Amino acid sequence: MPSEVHIWNGEQAHVGQWRGLEGVAVIAAPQNTPLLTPHFIQHCCEWLTTSGFASVVTPALTPSEIVPYLQADFSAREHLHVLIHRLGALPQIKIHEKVAIRRAEANDIPTVLQLDHTAFDQFWRFDRDALIEACTATPQSSFRVAVASKPFRFPAPRWESDNTQRKTIPEGTILGYCITGRNRQQGFLQRLAVVPSAQGKQIGTSLVRDCLEWLVRRRSRSCVVNTQESNLRARTLYQTCGFEMLHSGLYVMSRSLQKSAKTNGDLP
């Protein structure tokens, strides 16, 4: 079911399937609108239940935004760390000599989505709609890919070969991507992914540097990014690149829509 705007008693929210996951829905308040009321959230849950969904989640929410969801029997599924870069001195990053970063093109999208699926677990993976949403979430955005500028050797991306032996990566192979957003003077690192077999080769840090340079050229004051509490590798990468952890984080809330479920948030 594609996302649609659900309106009831003067309130509205975007509801639909969560990133292609069977039986999992999402409720998201439109940007720059008042908090949804618990009564409206409950109504959306009932409507989603009759539409055949088994569970529902939210996008990442601030501590104040989760209050009505708690009152509607949601619980926290994920806690996300939020980090900020003040865009002063940029990190001194040695870019891999055989990697180049360029603007993403429309025909890159299928490969980018394959890459994304190898880098994230099922719940967090992007489908095409989520990728487009990340690119259009802010008034200005940058969608960039890291590619092999020369042939070189390391384990092949998972979708290219079942052979785990080291092989030559052909020139032009997409090894990672980054989506950066900007709203006035605030920057956002919306998405960063590197194919697992290419991690540890400064591709992620090169993409972060590219993101920060894009924001500096547009006179942004800071850049924020969020990552899962359990994702130590990502947090270390961002802190190495000059990001600082903020005290308050974000929460993804969830609720089961099955009356027989023993606990809230039973998601695949």
Distance, C-alpha 89 to centroid of its chain: 26
Q: What are phi and psi of 206, to 5 degrees?
A: -65, -40
Give the confidence band of 231 by pLDDT, cuts at 50, 70, 90: very high
Q: Tell me how far apart the alpha carbons of residues 42 and 33 are, in angstroms, rounded to a whole number.
A: 18
pLDDT value of residue 157: 53
Fold of 4-80+249-256: Aminopeptidase (3.40.630)
In the chain, % of residues over pLDDT 90: 73
pLDDT tens readout for residues 38-49 = 999 999 999 999
User: Is it true that domain 87-220 has CATH number 3.40.630.30?
Assistant: yes
Residue 260 has what pLDDT? Answer: 38
SS3 15: strand
- Note the pTM of the prediction, 2 decimals: 0.86
Kindly indicate the confidence band of residue 223, based on its pLDDT and cuts at 50, 70 and 90: very high
Query: Are 4-80+249-256 and 87-220 the same fold in CATH?
Result: yes
Rounded distance, CA 76 to CA 197, Å?
32
Q: Which residues sit opposite 7 in a β-bridge?
A: 12
Task: Give the sign of the dihedral formed by CA 218, CA 242, CA 200, CA 117.
Answer: negative
Amino acid 266 reads D
d(Cα 252, Cα 94) in Å, to the nearest integer? 35
Greater pLDDT, 144 or 247: 144
Residues 265 and 12: their CA atoms lie apart, in Å, by 23
Exposure b/e, 216-230, CB count within 10 A at least 16 = b: eeeebeebebbbbee
- Residue (of 225, 223, 242, 230) closest to 191 by Cα position: 225
pLDDT, tens only, 114-168: 999 999 999 999 999 999 999 999 999 999 999 998 876 765 555 555 555 566 7
* Beta pairing partners, 167: 154
Going 94 to 221 to 249 to 264, the CA torsion angle's sign is negative
Structure tokens at 139: 């008034």
For 8, the token pair is: 């009831």
For the chain, what are the domain ranges? 4-80+249-256, 87-220
Contact 187, 181 (CB under 8 A): yes
Tokens of 206: 């090169």
